[in-house]
Structure 1
Amino acid sequence: MDLSPHSTEPTGSAHHRVVIVGGGTAGISVAARLRRAGVGDIAVLDPSGTHWYQPLWTLVGGGQAPLETSRRSEESLIPDGVRWIREAAAAVDPDARTVSLAGGGLVGYDYLVMAPGLQLDWDKIPGLAEAIGHDGVTSNYSPEYAPYTWELIKGMRSGTAVFSHPATPLKCGGAPQKIAYLAADYWRKQGVLDKIRMVFVLPDPKLFKVPVWTKALEKVVERYGIEVRYESEVTAVDGARRELTITDKKTGTEETLGYDLAHLVPPQSAPDWVKKSPLADGPYGFVKADKHTLRNPDHPEIFALGDVANLPTSKTGAAVRKQSPVVVAHMVAAMKGAEAGKKYDGYTSCPLVTARDKMLLAEFDYDLKPAKSFPGVNTFKERRDMWVFKRYVLPAVYWRGMMTGRV
């Protein structure tokens, strides 16, 4: 069998010791770690020829990074000795231990890693799918629209700018407000901030989960004069009229607001085929997993991590960095008929860009307790070195460390 990373497997029936659904951050990092642990006969299912470093899209939208720096070919990241099946998964049968492919055929497995990410539900907000990418409506949650965000910010000199956060779980929970801060700081430097009304629509009663960073962000919001609509969400968009509807979740009151720029983040959920699977758990269909071992409690040969896992923590790349070694440790132990003691504590990280040269680094665990990676560094205040860390250090760590199983 040809196990070069440049080979793909034809549609049909096959069986592999480990099948990984998804070739994104979670899938590739697990595949790389398994290979480093000496595990063979691994297959990665993913139809995309492009792999994106998504955390950089906020800076693309803020005019601080070119889109191309966030892109690599998927082929270049498939670890040596791992089979790449360039097809999408369409269903999973945990009793038969098979994954159905969208193009037909089945792939059997001894162990399954669910890492297909999540889906962006543009159609869940009426009018959003029709308006996105034009009519002043944009979103950094897609590489297609992130450059348009910067076009809108750069060209705005007065008017109303609306930024939204959906009322669903989402990847990188800080991203909806980070772009607001980047825009505000740019407009401040251009001398036009006082001519722009900024509105941030947030479904939660506070800016952040962890109090110490909430206080810091409240000062940032005050500095820029941003109106925060707490416990509210954008529920409709009329691109032709350049109007949107904001609904107060407590009272049900609706307000129609005209806009000149609207950075809207779509609701998010598990991929539709995952929602329909026996592994789905909770209202958004994410995969059921033990929060410490990341194993499915009903099917212990199945693991889930990354955005698709139904865990009580923020969905970030930093979380995956801590989750992948836990998955590998438990899988390798299971292959040997043993148990692993390694546990995931819910660590996640949110680099909160608050200006064009400053950032707060929020790191915390399941208990929302700070979990600092840099002893002696005050990450509770805005720092320029943390901005440099996000813009230049983290991408290098991602490509050279996480994607090769070293970090």
Structure 2
Amino acid sequence: MATLGVMSPGLHVHQCTQLLRAAIQSGSCRTLHMSPRSAAKEYYDVVVVGGGAGGITMSARMKRKVGAGKVAVIEPSETHYYQPMWTLVGGGAKKLASSARPTASVIPSGVKWIKSEVKGFDPEKNCIRIDDDKEISYKYLIIALGLKLHYEKIKGLPEGFNYPKIGSNYSVQTVEKTWKALQDFKKGNAIFTFPNSPVKCAGAPQKIMYLSEEYLRKTGKRADANIIFNTSSGVIFGVKKYADALQKIIKERNIQVNYKHNLIEVRPDIQEAVFENLDKPGETKVFQYEMLHVTPPMGPPDVLMNSPVSDAAGWVDVSKDNLQHKKYPNVFGIGDCTNLPTSKTAAAIAAQSAVLNKTISLVMKNQSPSSKYDGYTSCPLVTGYRKVILAEFDYNQQPLETFPIDQGKERRTMYHMKADMMPFLYWQLLLRGYWGGPAPYRKIMHLGFK
């Protein structure tokens, strides 16, 4: 009776009943109780960890590749957000509700939604552990966990958001506080910060600054406002062409930029922000603020720290060319959680998804990946309520522009692309696995020369 743990599907019902009755009489029925971990084990051809932009996109692509019922996406959140919209929400140009949809509505039909958190990875055994110590087994694994915001690394936060005059466009709980702080501004310092860590959408910390500056001009408060950008970086933007364009805007609009200034403390009760000077360790400077926009330090999700799938810093360790894991050939990564040396944006995810799709197709055929990701990413630098500089660039921080015009200039057309066209692309094409970035159109736009 020790073999009763798994009954043969060929046994008839009356045979099963007889076996069970015999087991009970003999006292050996205890062998029927399987361990919780083995009883709860599930298997899928492809498991996608994370239900953000990268995870949903790849689950849609994988479903078409291996079939319905063979793909699972693991995501605990009930709501999916189009986060690039939050720059405009914080500036009062869009409503927060327009960035949200139920997670259930974006999971592709035929893909299993496992509403849980990932607790650990065991790539040697091709399985992951989720809530209740349950194990999910896979043939192929795609990690798309995004990154984690660390407001708590700034003394006085996140509890400081309970006070007025402070907000952050990086969190659904705090983005509307930015707009409230901007509306309530009277006079004094409006401070915008950039942390000493990797950042998703590295242009966003200054996009809200340009919107705020224009809002204060339109409402007659600009003369009483000091616009200050305190950045831990040594440059305004990593790509020289766009940095030069932004420097002109900064000069024209009389914005003060302090480099190598990293926010370490907020004193919301007395409206003070404390910054460390990264060039002079131990030296700090206190700024009074009337409005403070905080961009928090960011890092890998906790589950990736000290994980077998991660590098020493906690980022998923993948090839920068094909997004395949460097050690485990059936594991792949996409988006913000990876150590790809490019900016962490939704545009980067789109381009990565096209490459990763080709990579996995070849791996499934026992062939070597041949497609190469060039590091393409895009950052629509919102410089006003109707103006955008569309920055597009590659691994080498060189412009990789789609349109046959100078994208280093502020353009209204690019604003409408950011505010209207890109959300459509996101919801209708990217998340359904049909948008892999503008690369095919770039050659057409440039008559085949790019």
Scaled to the shorter chain, the TM-score interval is over 0.9
What does 1:41-80 correspond to in 2, within 5 Å?
41-80=70-109
Deviation larger for 123-132 or 173-182: 123-132
**Which of 21, 25, 29 pairs up with 2:57?**
29
After superposition, the C-alpha distances for 1:261-280 in whole angstroms (9 at most, x for unaligned) are 11001100011111131122
Matching residue within 7, 14, 18 for 2:46? 18
The Cα offsets for residues 119-139 of structure 1, whole Å up to 9 and x where unpaired, read as 101111111212024242210
Q: Which residue of 1 aligns with 2:330?
A: 301
- Of 264, 272, 277, 2:294 maps to 264
List per-residue Cα deviations over 1:228-279 (Å, max 9, x = no partner).
Answer: 1101111111111211111110013211111111100110001111113112
Which structure is higher in RCO with an 8 Å CA cutoff and minimum separation 6?
1
Q: Secondary structure at the match of 1:76?
A: helix
Q: What is the aligned partner in structure 2 of residue 198 from structure 1?
A: 227
CA contact (8 A) 2:46 2:62 kept: no
Corresponding residue to 2:376 among 336, 342, 347: 347
Q: Does 1:404 align with 2:432?
A: yes
The residue type paired with residue 392 of structure 2 is: E
Q: Residue 163 of structure 2 contacts residue 269 of structure 2 at CA under 8 Å; is this kept in 1?
A: no
Is contact 2:149-2:299 (8 Å) kept? yes
Listed as ranges, the matches of 1:2-401 within 5 Å are 12-40=40-68, 41-252=70-281, 253-283=283-313, 285-374=314-403, 376-401=404-429
Q: If the length of structure 1 is used for normalisation, what is the TM-score?
A: 0.95
SS in 2 for 1:401: helix
C-alpha distance in 1, partners of 2:55/2:87?
23
User: Counterpart amino acid of 1:102?
Assistant: D
Distance in structure 1 (CA, Å) of the matches to 2:66 and 2:329: 21
Please state which structure has a larger fraction of its residues in helix.
2
Gaps of 5+ in 1: 1-10
The secondary structure found in structure 1 opposite 2:133 is coil
Partner AA of 1:393 in structure 2:
M
Distance 2:64 2:43 in 1: 21
Q: Is the 8 A contact 1:135 1:242 kept in 2?
A: no
Show CA shifts across 1:316-370 (max 9, x none).
0000000012112111211111223211110000000001110000000001111
Contact 2:261–2:278 (Cα < 8 Å) also in 1: yes
Q: Which entry has the higher C-alpha Rg, 1 or 2?
A: 2
State how far apart, in whole Å, the 1-side matches of 2:263 and 2:155 are: 10
Q: Distance in 1 between matches of 2:213 and 2:383?
A: 9
Mapped partners of 1:36, 1:105: distance in 2: 27
Q: Distance in 2 between matches of 1:342 and 1:80?
A: 28
Aligned partners of 1:245 and 1:353: how far apart in 2? 27
C-alpha change, 1:364 and 1:133, in structure 2 (3 Å) is: farther
Q: Is the 8 A contact 1:36 1:405 kept in 2?
A: no
Q: Which residue of 1 aligns with 2:438?
A: none
Matched-pair contact (CA < 8 Å) for 1:119–1:268: yes
Question: Quick check: 2:306–2:312 contact (8 Å CA) kept in 1?
Answer: no
TM-score normalised to structure 2 length: 0.86
Quick check: 2:207–2:382 contact (8 Å CA) kept in 1? yes
Amino acid in the other structure paired with 1:227? Q
Q: Which amino acid aligns with 1:402?
A: L
Contact 2:165 2:180 in 1 (8 A): no
Q: CA deviation at 1:199?
A: 1.2
- Greater shift in the superposed pair: 29-38 or 103-112: 29-38
Amino acid at match of 2:56: I
d(CA) in 2 for partners of 1:135, 1:236: 16
- Cα contact 2:80–2:103 (8 A) shared by 1: yes
User: Aligned residues, how many?
Assistant: 395
Partner Cα distance (1:132, 1:21) in 2: 31
Q: Deviations over 1:9-34 (max 9, x none)?
A: xx921111111000110001011112
Report the 3-state secondary structure (helix = DSSP H, G, I; strand = E; otherwise coil) of the residue aligned with 2:57.
helix
In 2, distance between residues paired with 1:180 and 1:272? 31
Query: What SS does structure 1 have at the residue aligned with 2:158?
Result: helix
Matched residue, 1:6: none
